Amino acid sequence: MKKAIIAGTSIEDIIDKPFKTYTTDYGDVDAALDGDFLFILRHRSSHTAAPHLINYLANAALLEHFEVSEVITTHAVGSITERLLPTKIGLVSDFIDITYGRASTFFDGIMRPLKHVPMNDVFDDELRFQVIRSSVDRNLRISPALTYITTNGPRLESKAEIRAYRAWGADVVGMTLNPEVNLIHELGIRLCSICFSINWAAGLDEEGISFIEGESRRKLIASVLDIALDALKNT
């Protein structure tokens, strides 16, 4: 059984294995195989797919093709509440999906039979426990239970939108959690999602939107990847 990580393009520079293009029934995926570990570049090589144009079906179908049993997805987000401050990492425990125009199910009654898969328990407890353990081992605090709202992008949100999402109970905002996790869950693959905040969401920072960039961002991504790998090795 293989394990997998789906992450942003920066892991292309961290993973010391060649990325190649795999073809699935749903389209092409750029990924690297390293022993039992599969690394998928969510946005394809060199970040060519914007969040609303990612082929989420193909990425999930590749997990099925390699009979992946566990997957950790990682996501850069903006902070809406103090439960995840910029530069910090956290685990997603629930989501609000307001994306549109994205293919968001395998069970559409065309490619596969119609099915209404519950989304109550998408994030696996054992995997989440391992991520928390791995963070604690590294003396890193991790926020254990965040609600992620997925906006369609690629534009950022307005200030009023962020006020509304906060009132709905969202802690962090990003553009890639859905339909990625719905699809993986539909396939019955155990998963958990780690997010790391690179900015305060619209209207929450007096200076406007300012992103964590450069070396601090690279370090944050490297430590998220390190935690994810360690967690998967222990499940």
Point out which residues bind ligand HPA (CB under 6 A): 76-78, 151, 156-157, 173-175, 198-199, 201
* 3-class SS of residue 150: strand
Q: What totals of helices (H) and strands (E) does the chain contain, helices first? A: 6, 9
Pairing, β 89-97 against β 20-24: unpaired
* Least distance in angstroms from the C-beta of 173 to ligand HPA: 4
Task: Output the smallest distance, CB 220 to ligand HPA, in A.
Answer: 12
Residue 82: CB minimum distance to ligand HPA, A = 15
Rounded to 5°, angle at Cα 181 from 72 and 36: 35
| 131 or 175: CB nearest ligand HPA | 175
- Taking each helix axis as running N to C, give the angle between helix 125-137 and helix 214-233, from 0 to 180 degrees, rounded to the nearest 10: 120
78 versus 90: smaller Cβ distance to ligand HPA: 78
Task: Give me the long-range contacts of 109-117 (CB less than 8 A, separation at least 24).
Answer: 111/25, 115/186, 117/182, 117/185, 117/186
Cβ nearer to ligand HPA, comparing 79 with 130 = 79
Write down the least CB distance from residue 79 to ligand HPA, Å: 8
Tell me how far, at minimum, the Cβ of 68 lies from ligand HPA, in Å. 25
For β-strands 172-174 and 142-150, DSSP reports them as: parallel
Looking at the Cβ atoms of 187 and 209, the one nearer to ligand HPA is 209
Minimum CB separation from ligand HPA for residue 201, in Å? Answer: 5
Q: Please tell me the distance from the alpha carbon of residue 39 to that of residue 50, in angstroms, as a whole number.
A: 19
Closer residue to ligand HPA, CB minimum distance, 70 or 157 = 157
Which of 138, 128, 129 lies closest to 219, judged by CA? 138
CB nearer ligand HPA, residue 21 or residue 154? 154
State which residue has the least CB distance to ligand HPA: 78
Q: Whole-angstrom Cα distance, residue 232 to residue 224?
A: 12
